[in-house]
Structure 1
Amino acid sequence: MRALLVVNPAATTTSARTRDVLIHALASEMKLEAVTTEYRGHARDLGRQAAESDDIDLLVALGGDGTVNEVVNGLLHAGPDPEHLPGLAVVPGGSTNVFARALDLPNHPVEATGALLDALRKGRERTVGLGLTSGTPGTDDEGVPPRWFTFNAGLGFDAGVVGRVEQHRERGKKSTHALYMRQVVRQLIGEPHRRHGVITLEQPGEDPVRDLALSIVSNASPWTFLGNRPIYASPKASFDTGLDIFGLKRLSASALARYGTQLLTSSPERGPRGRHVTAGHDLTQFTLHSKVPLPLQMDGDHLGLRTSVTFTGVRRALRVIV
């Protein structure tokens, strides 16, 4: 087996020495080429090269969710073809590693490497569904290129938090859960649409849902992690179904206290609920429109401002070694 290992040297939970150990362990079991990313988008370029190669069987991503997202978008640049494209393996090296943990992989890079080698020896793999976003025809965002996401996306509030965190990381701050919580508070204080949302959910055959102040799209469950605590915005979301959506019509202090508490105490059986909640499960396609440009995030990566995004759930899009 020939494998391409994509290494993010800025991965927050691995040192250079640890990465060397992992590379040697993988190289002992396969013909391995390791490439260290040098710029934003490099992992996507390497994923595309692997997809177009005739002799790469496996693509291994060593890094956080952002690295995985780039690799997946490169691998699927011409569309999903799990029968013929290289499989994907993930060695988590980020601060949260939602995709790897949603696949029930170990959150420690050394343990994850051991699990990967064991899975390869035993031929364990699964084909998972993914989310795909695109510009909406007839809107200003019509020409925006399609982009895949692996576990979640958001238009509005949560994407604003992601953008704030990225700004701090660019200034040298480490991506920690405490940093995220501080930016949640600051985003809430500065949120101009707390009481009157500007997002409309449209899906074929259904009445529009208007005035959403928050919208979270999930391709897997949990939505994210706070330390070791899983947070379930859409508990039924799964790699084996379409997309789920969780929306809130109000972000007032009382609403945030109520639904924030529900999120913190959520479980695989019970997510947030109440009269301000909008929820959808196993959706094939829908569109989020906004009256004003709002930030968009996918897999924890801030992608700028958008006024309209179409989401599609694509089943059996990617073969993953587990």
Structure 2
Amino acid sequence: MRALLVVNPAATTTSARTRDVLIHALASEMKLDAVTTEYRGHARDLGRQAADSDDIDLVVALGGDGTVNEVVNGLLHRGPAPERLPRLAVVPGGSTNVFARALGLPNDAVEATGAILDALRDGSERTVGLGLASGTPGSEDAAAPERWFTFNAGLGFDAGVVGRVEQQRERGKKSTHALYVRQVVRQFLGEPSRRHGSITLGRPGEDPVTDLVVAIVSNTSPWTYLGNRPMYTSPKASFDMGLDVLGLSRLSTAAVARYGTQLLTSSPERGPHGRHAVSLHDLSGFTLHSKVPLPLQMDGDHLGLRTSVTFTGVRRALRVIV
């Protein structure tokens, strides 16, 4: 077996010594080419090269959710073809690692490597569904490039938080859960439309859902983690189904307190709920349109402002080692 290891040297929770140990462990079981990323988008380029190669059987992503997202977008640059494309394995190296943990992998890089090697020996893999976002025909964002996401996307409030976190990281701040909490508070205080949202969710054959402040799209559950605590916006979301959406139409102080408490106490059986919450399950496709440009995020990566995004749930898109 020939494998490509994509290493993000800035991975939050792995040292250079740990990366050397992981590379040695993987190289003992397969023919391994290890490449360290050197620029934003490099992991995507490496994934694209692997997808076009005739002899790479496996791509291992060592890094956080952003690294995984780039690799996935590279692998799927010509669309999903699970039987043709290299399989994907993920070694968590970021601060949260939602995708790896949702697959059931340990959050420790060394333990996850051991689990992956065991899975390869046992031939254990699964084919997962993914989300695809694209520009909406006829909108000002019609030419926006397609982008795959592995676990979630968001338009509005949560994407604004992601953007604020990225700004802080560019200033040298370390990515921590405390940093995210602070940016949630700042985003709330700066949110211009907490009571009357601008987002409309449209889907074929159904009445539109209007006046949303935020729309969180989930491809799996949980939505994210606060330390070791999983938080569920759409508990029924699954890699084996379409996309789920949680929409909130009000973010007043009382609403934020209520939904924040519900998130912290959420479970695989119940997520946020109430008069201003809308939950939709197993959607194959829908469009989010906003009256004003709003921030968009996918897998924790801020993608700028958009007024319209079309989402598609693509089942059985990629084979993953588990």
TM-score normalised by length of structure 1: 1.00
Find the aligned partners of 2:141 and 2:224 in 1 and give their Cα distance. 28
Q: CA deviation at 1:307?
A: 0.2
Between Structure 1 and Structure 2, how many residues are aligned? 322
1:289 aligns with: 289
Give the corresponding residue for 1:49: 49
User: How many angstroms does 1:214 deviate by?
Assistant: 1.0
Tell me the equivalent position of 1:311: 311
Query: Where do 5+ consecutive residues of structure 2 fail to align?
Result: none
Q: Distance in 2 between matches of 1:242 and 1:299?
A: 16
**Alignment-derived partner of residue 32 in structure 1:** 32
CA positional deviation for 1:13: 0.1
The aligned residue for residue 155 of structure 1 is 155
TM-score with structure 2 setting the length: 1.00
Runs of at least 4 residues of structure 1 off by over 6 A?
Answer: none
Output the CA distance in 2 between the equivalents of 1:184 and 1:141. Answer: 27
* CA-CA distance at 1:237 after TM superposition: 0.2
Per the alignment, residue 80 of structure 2 pairs with 80
Equivalent residue number for residue 253 of structure 1: 253
- 1:319 partner amino acid: R
**Distance in 2 separating the partners of 1:40 and 1:208:** 37
What residue is the counterpart of 1:279 in the other structure?
279
Q: Provide, for residues 276-298 of structure 1, a one-character-per-residue CA deviation record: whole Å limited to 9, x for no partner.
A: 01110000000000000000000
Match in the other structure for 1:101 = 101
Q: Does 1:184 align with 2:174?
A: no
CA distance in 2, matches of 1:86, 1:192: 45
Compute the RMSD of aligned alpha carbons: 0.4
Q: Note the alpha carbon deviations across 1:77-122, whole angstroms, 9 max, x for none.
A: 0000000100000000000000000001000000000000000000
Aligned amino acid, residue 166 of structure 2? E
- Percent identical among aligned pairs is 84
Q: Counterpart of 1:207?
A: 207
Q: Which amino acid aligns with 1:130?
A: L
Measure the CA separation in 1 of the matches of 2:107 and 2:199: 35
Indicate the residue corresponding to 2:263 in structure 1.
Answer: 263
Distance 1:159 1:268 in 2: 23
| CA distance, structure 1, for counterparts of residue 124 and residue 306 of structure 2 | 39
Q: Aligned AA for 2:40?
A: R
1:171 Cα deviation after fit = 1.1
Q: Which residue is equivalent to 2:173?
A: 173
**Secondary structure of 1:267's match?**
coil
- The equivalent residue for 1:164 is 164
Q: Which amino acid aligns with 2:217?
A: V
The amino acid that maps onto 1:293 is P
Secondary structure, aligned partner of 2:59: strand
**d(CA) in 2 for partners of 1:176, 1:194:** 26
SS of aligned partner of 2:180: helix
C-alpha deviation, 1:177, in angstroms: 0.2
Quote the Cα distance in structure 2 between the aligned partners of 1:203 and 1:275. Answer: 21
